[in-house]
Structure 1
Amino acid sequence: MHSFIYFASFLLLVSAIPKEEKIDRVYDRDLSGKEHFDNDIHNTEYDHEAFLGEEAKSFDNLSPEESKRRLGVIVDKIDKNKDGFITREELRDWIRFTAKRYIVEDTNNQWKKHNPDDAPKLPWNAYEKLVYGFMDFSKVVNKDDENYSYMVMMKRDKRRWQMADKDGDDALDKEEFGKFLHPEEDEYMKDVVILETMEDIDTDNDGKVSLKEYIRDLYKGEDNEEEPDWVKSEKEQFSTYRDKDGDGFLDIEEVKSWVIPPDFDHAEAEARHLIYEADYDADEQLTREEILNKYDLFVGSQATDFGDALARHDEF
Structure 2
Amino acid sequence: MLPENFWLKLVSLVAIFTLATARVNNPEKSSSVPLNEMTQEGKIAVMMQMYRKIDSNENAVIDTDELKVWIDLVHNRTSEHAVKFRFNFLDRDGNGQVSWWEFRSLTFSVISDDENEGPDPKNYTQEQFRDLEKAFKADRARFQVADLDHDESLTLDEFRAFAMPEMFSHMHYHMVEETLGELDSDSDQHLSVDEYLTAIIQGDDVTRNDVTSREYDFFFNTRDKNGDGKLDKNEVKEWIAPNEFNPHKAEAEFLIREADTNKDGELSLNEVLRELHLFINSGATNFGRETHEEL
TM range (shorter): 0.5 to 0.7
1:174 aligns with 2:161: no
Counterpart selection for 1:228 from 209, 212, 216: 209
Per-residue CA deviation, residues 246-274 of structure 1 (Å, 9 max, x unaligned), is 21211011112222334334555749x97
Question: Quick check: 2:110–2:119 contact (8 Å CA) kept in 1?
Answer: no
- Segments of 5+ residues of structure 1 without an aligned counterpart are 1-54, 222-226
Q: Distance in 2 between matches of 1:97 and 1:137?
A: 38
Q: Which residue of 2 aligns with 1:188?
A: 170
Corresponding residue of 2:3: none
How many Å separate the matches in 2 of 1:138 and 1:61? 49
Gaps of 5+ in 2: 1-33, 112-116
RMSD of the alignment, in Å? 4.5
Residue 121 of structure 1 is matched in structure 2 by 97
User: Is 1:103–1:178's contact at 8 Å kept on the other side of the alignment?
Assistant: no
- 2:40 matches 1:61: yes
TM-score (norm 2): 0.60
Distance 1:207 1:292, change over 3 A: closer
1:261 matched to 2:242:
yes
Q: Report the structure, 1 or 2, having the larger helix content.
A: 2
Q: Report how far residue 165 of structure 1 moved.
A: 2.1
Question: What's 2:19 paired with?
Answer: none
- State whether residues 183 and 193 of structure 1, in contact with CA within 8 Å, keep that contact through their aligned partners in structure 2: yes
Aligned residues: 237
| Counterpart secondary structure, 1:147 | helix
Q: Normalising by structure 1, report the TM-score.
A: 0.56
Higher relative contact order (CA 8 A, sep 6+): 1
Partner of residue 209 from structure 1, selected from 191, 201, 221: 191
Structure richer in strand, relative to its length: 1
Structure 1 range deviating more: 85-94 or 124-133: 85-94
Of all paired residues, the percent bearing the same amino acid is: 24
- Describe how 1:1-316 pairs up with structure 2 within 5 A: 57-62=36-41, 67=44, 70=46, 73-74=49-50, 92-115=68-91, 118-134=94-110, 137=118, 147-219=129-201, 228-265=209-246, 267=248, 270=252, 296=273, 309-313=291-295
* Deviation digits for residues 136-159 of structure 1 (CA, Å, limit 9, x no counterpart): 74977xxx7752432232222122
> Quick one: which amino acid aligns to residue 213 of structure 1?
E
